[in-house]
Amino acid sequence: MKTIIQALGILLFLVFALENSYSQNSDSLKRIDSDTSFAKIHSPKKAGWMSAALPGLGQVYNKKYWKVPIVYAALGTTTYFMIDNNKKYQDYRQAYINRLDSDTLNDTAFPLYGTEDLRELKNYYWRYRDLNAFIFVGIWMLNILDAVVDAHLYTFDIGNNLTMQIQPTMQNAFNSQNKPVYGLSFQLRF
């Protein structure tokens, strides 16, 4: 439980740290060149806060709807394993406590395991429960980071001037056999 609280504390710290880390202007409207019309700026700050409040909401704000099931599948999977590992940890912990108790009537769970086996199983599921909690927080952070980066790149223009051409080439090279050298040519234009 202590590690979960620490992980949530780290999550809140990173969310508040993200608040002032943007390079865009805080104005929500921007003048377009010499035109008198205004265009709405896509706010990375808003996308980050939305994803921090509810995972996937920043992706919806960025109109990247296909990412929402991925976020929830990752969070749901880690939640499932965290709950499953916690249940097994509690079972093996209680069996270990009962085994160490002087009352032999309580010692009916897991009769095939020895005392040392129960301790090792308890520690195994404890470790992986905590690991899943950290993975959960990490996925939540990646969700926020993805929403912020997508919002920054929302208005990124890939114009017609950006091209890459790959074409085969043949060069006459001075080698010992006087044969042409074949290869590929890459051309980037900005």
Measured CA to CA, the distance from residue 77 to residue 72 in angstroms comes to 8
The answer to whether position 187 is within a domain reads no
Range of 149's domain? 2-159
The alpha carbons of the chain give a radius of gyration, in whole angstroms, of 28
The answer to whether position 174 is within a domain reads no
The answer to whether position 147 is within a domain reads yes
DSSP string spanning 34-101?
Answer: T-S-EEE---HHHHHHHHHHSTTHHHHHTT-TTHHHHHHHHHHHHHHHHHHHHHHHHHHHHHHHHHHS
Tell me the sheet residues that pair with 171: 181
- Is residue 45 within 8 Å of 22, Cβ to Cβ? yes
DSSP SS3 for 108? coil
The answer to whether position 101 is within a domain reads yes
Q: Low-confidence residues of the chain, pLDDT below 70?
A: 1-40, 158-162, 173-176, 190
DSSP SS3 for 131? helix
The answer to whether position 128 is within a domain reads yes
What's residue 23's pLDDT? 41
Could you tell me the sign of the dihedral formed by the alpha carbons of 50, 54, 56, 57, in that order?
A: negative
Nearest 5°: CA angle at 71, between 65 and 75? 155
Total domains present in the chain: 1
What's residue 142's pLDDT? 97
The answer to whether position 164 is within a domain reads no
The answer to whether position 35 is within a domain reads yes
Measured CA to CA, the distance from residue 55 to residue 71 in angstroms comes to 7
The answer to whether position 185 is within a domain reads no
